[in-house]
């Protein structure tokens, strides 16, 4: 007790709550019982489950109260933190070490001094230019959620046969999740049943057409106009850097606040965490913004401990590991994508593997397609993506763990994963992908991507004849794998040859036969026709 009483009392001011700010404030308290900790939040709530908002709107989460992680009163009681909501920090005087705070309810301004300042102002949704209409929504906080849910409920209760239409702008996590939840609310069921959700990819937004204060349609750069009853904007976010920039804090190349490994800005008494900062990518080793809750929480914890002198840990690099569910399909990623690797001129090879969520002979196995990226010479893991149903999260999390420790595909091939028929396979899809990558590294096979144009290649389809109804490559010669050795005379060994099957496994076996029977240039279409149907076509 005497140590607490005699400790020099610091004043720590935290700007913003939710993931980064609330984590920073509570960690600071756990590390320093004597500190005077003040948290300012410009909105009503300091900590809520922002990732759960679409699921409440769609009715999967029934109770709105479950979205509230904690309240100002609870934080004050349990942690002894002075919490002020509806308070917006307007400016920082770094010389005097004070912040100016606006009371958004009364319009009054006050000053608060600090010894250490932690900025967690988050980011704001990107919206198209022009006036904001009452039926155009973003989804960033509980206020947005309540407004959108009220509008959706009103439309759902509307009488008559006129179809109810919604346009979701943006195919990020919020956009995809909201398409799914609008389906649950009954807005796109007829269209889904007839043609599926219509996608307009690679088309920019010019603006909204307004009538009587409401948006009636959205205009696209292609010249298309899409009419709807309501519009949901999921076009991404911009970091709220205005406060930091006005105070002379340095922004990085991604236009997020630049911080060091302890989340300190160029002012050692000012920290920044969450969506407002840029972080170092763990594979690319370049700064970028990754507005994800997990990263914000961990950064807040680090900053909160470090600012009271009790946490020497360094922030790890970010991998951008993320997952989203859309209807019955789950998609996830970690590390680099092929497009990112290409932009950075990073050598990159890929393998695709199709497998089951658990042993295929055990009931209920769901298919998943896994893509693993690696350096073509060293085998170092660069990233992975997966799409399917059950088990996608498990595989991506394993790859993310391997990436965190700088692993290679050879490491991935040897990871001892839990196996029992209801949970996995003796040869997990992760192992199969790693085995395939190792085979390429060892010169046993060469893979070509499913996007490869095959017009000038000798394509050998080693599937059985009854499988050809699932799609064929024009000009391919069908020779079932079990007949390949006897029918080699039908092929030209001097021509570049690509072997194709359903998912790539038989393609590899066929390629090994051909490459040892005098064929000079043999490759396998990685992922086979499964991957080609999903990601590319001639």
Specify whether 51 is catalytic. Answer: yes
What are the residues whose beta carbons fall under 8 Å from the beta carbon of 491, sequence distance 6 or more? 458, 460, 477, 479, 497, 514, 519
CA distance 283 to 262: 20
CA distance 280 to 97: 28
Q: In this structure, what are the phi and psi dihedrals at residue 59, rounded to the nearest 5 degrees?
A: 95, 0
DSSP 379-422: -BEEEEEEEESTTHHHHHHHHHHHHHTT-BHHHHHH------TT
CA distance 465 to 385: 31
Its sign, for the CA torsion 232, 90, 260, 8, is: negative
* Integer CA distances (angstroms), 367 to 327, 357, 358, 387, in order: 15, 6, 9, 9
Q: Output the six-digit token pair for 514.
A: 């051909």
Q: Are 459 and 476 in contact (CB under 8 A)?
A: yes
Kindly report the length of the chain.
538
* Integer CA distances (angstroms), 466 to 177, 222, 356, 452, 505, in order: 38, 42, 22, 25, 18
For residue 99, count other CB atoms closer than 10 A to its CB.
24
CA distance 95 to 229: 51
User: Which is the catalytic residue, given 31, 51, 307, 333?
Assistant: 51
**Order of strands, edge to edge, in the sheet holding 230-233?**
136-137, 230-233, 166-169
CA distance 502 to 530: 6
Select from 61, 63, 74 the least CA-distant residue to 26. 74
CA distance 256 to 436: 39
The enclosing H or E element of 72 equals helix 72-79
Pairing mode of beta strands 98-103, 109-113: antiparallel
* Integer CA distances (angstroms), 241 to 79, 90, 182, 254, 259, in order: 28, 12, 33, 12, 13
CA distance 101 to 109: 5
The catalytic site residues sit at: 51
């Amino acid at each position: 007790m005497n140590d607490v009483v005699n400790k020099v009392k610091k004043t720590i001011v935290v700007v913003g709550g939710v993931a980064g700010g609330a984590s920073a404030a509570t960690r600071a308290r756990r590390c320093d019982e004597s500190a005077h900790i003040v948290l300012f939040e410009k909105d009503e709530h300091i900590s809520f489950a922002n990732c759960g908002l679409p699921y409440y709107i769609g009715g999967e989460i029934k109770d709105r109260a479950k979205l509230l992680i904690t309240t100002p009163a609870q934080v004050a009681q349990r942690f002894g933190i002075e919490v002020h909501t509806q308070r917006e920090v307007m400016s920082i005087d770094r010389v005097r070490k004070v912040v100016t705070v606006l009371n958004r309810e009364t319009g009054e301004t006050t000053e608060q001094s600090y010894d250490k300042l932690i900025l967690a102002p988050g980011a704001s949704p990107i919206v198209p230019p022009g006036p904001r209409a009452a039926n155009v929504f973003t989804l960033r906080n509980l206020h947005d959620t309540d407004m959108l849910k009220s509008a959706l409920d009103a439309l759902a209760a509307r009488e008559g046969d006129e179809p109810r239409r919604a346009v979701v702008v943006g195919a990020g996590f919020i956009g995809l999740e909201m398409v799914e939840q609008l389906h649950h609310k009954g807005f796109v069921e007829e269209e889904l049943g007839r043609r599926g959700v219509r996608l307009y990819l690679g088309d920019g937004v010019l603006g909204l057409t307004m009538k009587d204060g409401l948006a009636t349609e959205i205009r696209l750069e292609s010249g298309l106009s899409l009419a709807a009853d309501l519009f949901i904007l999921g076009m991404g976010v911009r970091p709220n850097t205005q406060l930091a920039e006005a105070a002379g804090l340095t922004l990085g190349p991604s236009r997020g606040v630049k911080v060091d490994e302890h989340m300190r800005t160029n002012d050692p008494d000012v920290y920044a965490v969450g969506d407002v900062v840029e972080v170092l990518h763990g594979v690319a080793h370049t700064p970028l913004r990754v507005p994800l809750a997990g990263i914000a929480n961990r950064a807040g914890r680090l900053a909160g401990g470090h600012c009271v002198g009790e946490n020497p840990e360094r922030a790890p690099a970010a991998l951008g590991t993320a997952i989203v569910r859309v209807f019955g399909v789950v998609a996830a990623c970690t590390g680099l994508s092929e497009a990112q690797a290409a932009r950075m001129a990073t050598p990159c090879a890929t393998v695709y593997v199709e497998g089951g969520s658990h042993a295929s002979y055990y009931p209920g196995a769901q298919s998943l397609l896994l893509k693993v990226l690696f350096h073509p010479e060293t085998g170092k893991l660069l990233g992975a993506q997966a799409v399917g149903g059950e088990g996608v999260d498990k595989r991506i999390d394993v790859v993310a763990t391997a990436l965190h420790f700088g692993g290679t595909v050879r490491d991935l091939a040897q990871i001892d994963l839990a196996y029992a028929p209801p949970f996995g396979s003796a040869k997990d899809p992760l192992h199969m992908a790693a085995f395939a990558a190792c085979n390429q590294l060892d010169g046993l096979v060469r893979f070509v991507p499913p996007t490869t144009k095959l017009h000038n290649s000798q394509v050998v389809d080693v599937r059985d004849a009854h499988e050809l109804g699932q799609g064929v490559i024009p000009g391919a010669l069908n020779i079932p794998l079990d007949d390949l050795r006897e029918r080699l005379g039908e092929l030209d060994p001097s021509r570049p040859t690509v072997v194709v099957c359903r998912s790539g496994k038989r393609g590899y076996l066929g390629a090994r036969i051909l490459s040892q029977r005098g064929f000079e240039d043999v490759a396998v279409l990685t992922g086979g026709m499964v991957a080609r149907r999903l990601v590319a076509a001639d």
